[in-house]
Structure 1
Amino acid sequence: MELHIRPLGELTLIELSGDIEKGDADLFAERTTKVSKAVVALRSDGGSLIAGIGMGELVRSKGFATLVPANARCASACALVWLGGTRRYMSPEARIGFHAAYDGNGNETGIGNAILGAYVNKLGLSYSAVIYITQASPTSMTWLTAEEAKKNEIDLTLTEPTSTTSSNSESESAPSASAVTLRDKVGEFITTLFALWSSPNEKVTSILPRLYGSRVLFYGREVSDNEVLTDKINSMNRWPQRLYKVRQGSLTVQCDASIGGCKANGIVDWVVRSPARNVQGGGSSTFEYMIAMRDGPLRIVAESGNVISKLPTSTLR
């Protein structure tokens, strides 16, 4: 299992993906010790029943919400983690799948189903939900719908769809107006951000304090906004002349209103100069930002990236 923790202002986004294996519940507990308010976003085809139940119990005890985002699949043990959410979110474009418990030979197991049923009851779900969740054989899957969830008293909230489907037999997708507006807003924010980095130092330093949240996951370390500003100012002083340009067609933005955040990825090409040192450099880098959109202006709450090509530092001409 891969686990990524990203602060979004007062809320934390915990992203879980990949196979759920023995020991993952302990890893989840260890990594989330200091997290008090979170949404757990899930993408997994499942894995260990016991690990999935253990993680679901931890999610419930910590009061976390769960989410299966657009175009993601959460099945088997992953779906059990999702059930643990104090509030459960599901994109209309997501798939959540359940089936009966099985042993190491792929055969349905009564003991496993008893453990599964006890877990579901512990979450406060009905007997109808237990039957629904275990009705599919280990070699098949029951895919949850909003209608079936309501019928079997499985509370969930559908997030806003990122697309609408036409009445034709072939789906013809188009982004919803609100999703387009939000993605466009974040896209403009990122474009403006790199334009700002290309500005004189005085202009950057006057705006910089308004760009970041109070806590930032900054290249793998959670730091304060002041620490981010110090790093940025040091970089600006080293390279007072800068030109950054987002590579055409590389910027992608994914937003989810239920967690109050957007992720922006892309490639930026750059040239930097230091007249005082008579040197210049340049290259290309990937970038990834998490943007919080709760309670007012957009704020950067996570930043990372990697240099993918770099020109040797040379003397200014």
Structure 2
Amino acid sequence: MGVYSGIAHAEITIERVPIDDATPVLLLKGEFTSTDNPEQLVREVASSGAKVITFNSDGGNVVSAMAYGRTIRKLGLSTLQLRSTQCASACTLAFVGGIIRQAEPGAIGVHQSSFSPDAAIDGPTAVAAVQALTAQIITYLVEMEVDPKLLQLSLSVPSDDMRYLTSNEMQTYKVTWGNLANSKSTASNAQTVPTTEPAEALATEAAPPTAEEKARAFVAEYYGAWSRKNSDALSFLEKAYAKTVDFFGKPTPNSSVLAEKRDFANRWPIRAYSVKAGSMQVTCTETCKAEGVVDWYAKRDVGDRVSSGSAEFSFVLDWSSGVVLSESGKVILTDKNVTRPVRLIAQWEELNSSCRGGSGDLPETHLACERRESVGDKLQAVGWCYGREGEYGYQMQWHACETTSYKVEGSAGGSSTSTFKRPVPSDYPVQARFSGQTVMPDFKGRDREYNSFRTRIRDGMRKGPDFAGRYTLIQIGCGSGCSFVVVANNQTCRPSSFPRGGEEHMYLSLDFRRDSRLVAAQWLNYETKTCVVEFFDFERDHWKAVSKTSVGGEEACYRTVTQNLR
């Protein structure tokens, strides 16, 4: 978002999308331009009685988009965005004008703005224009009750790329708000919003679910509940089983089944279970049999022990009452020495590719997007987060939410060293503390070798020093398992490089403090397949090696420095 945002094809036009037994939805199509007049929307709303606005726009002029957003808010309209069309770049600003805002995952896109290719403008003027408009956008977002951090996310994405928001991100930034379910005039009554000419709306009344659909829904709900905290999971299970269950080939009282489930839940209180896409088969006669494969991740509450793998499952359901008559299954794969929910992450990544890469109007694309959100919710519930602040695109990965120092989570194993004496941070006090305002590097001159990473460096420095009094350590990805670290001096604005990183030091993780010059660097030595921890003293802008030790094999590099040196 900014001066000019997106590449669109025509100025804004308004079309009516007819809805059965309701007022039409208004579709705003094309490019927001400086010549647009939001009064045309006022007239169209007065004429049609519309209550809901939707978009098919790649962006355009930001000022015009905000003007439309304010008009939408003034008229008390709601906004709805389907993935079969698009609202990207500046269009996002118009969308958040809705008093109620709903959008499908992947329907809203953001990125940096740029000046129009035809604009003839010098550097100082451009900087002043961007600063002024950025202030306007922040004011507008606050006015619309949207988190201004949305702008920060937008600025982290290059203008030739696009970042489509997930459902969780839209809720976090308050891009979406409220619920249109009770509205008499919503585009959900139509199959899709047309991308060209409005089409006849289809019948709105949904057919009752079939027995097979009920069975599939039950299995999804079962594993969804089993992935929640114990109280919620066990509350669901208490109502899920018949009085007597054929439990793994043996008639078993309901109470015994629940006792076994309760015992497992107490031993493994952190759980995430997800049925593999396309694996479930359901056949229904008087009862329904549902069979498939489920991936799981479970963790003990003590000892950090993790269980991960895949299992076959089989349920026989009384589809009329929705209870389990029979349950069986078997483990088919287990993952050794892992701490990550590797199988659920793999599911999410596959679904994310299908959601982002599929045709927006295909049912399977919508299903992939919905399943991606479901798997993502389960991952977050067990303590895993996607991406960090300031990251985008290929840099974003799933990582442990509780991570506070830079590290990669993954396989576990090996043992901690008992002979190595770990240096104490307080023995390496800072020599100078930061004062005043952070000064940014000269990326066009003296520091141009860091120009390619200027956005990450600026974002990191804006947060203030986090190491040795006045420095910021900024870790930047360079591929799977590969990263390097920029050491930025917030006082003198000069960036420099950390002595470890790149493909020679894979799985690099750092442990450091603001009040100490000491840094612990952990990395994998590929030649010897050993995980190494090194300590460095950053004295007077020079790195001095303090000590070094091996903490185990490759799997040890997926634990933290503290865990390896206990």
TM-score bucket (shorter structure): 0.3 to 0.5
Structure with greater strand percent: 1
Q: Which has the higher contact order (CA 8 A, sep 6+)?
A: 1
TM-score norm. by structure 1 comes to 0.47
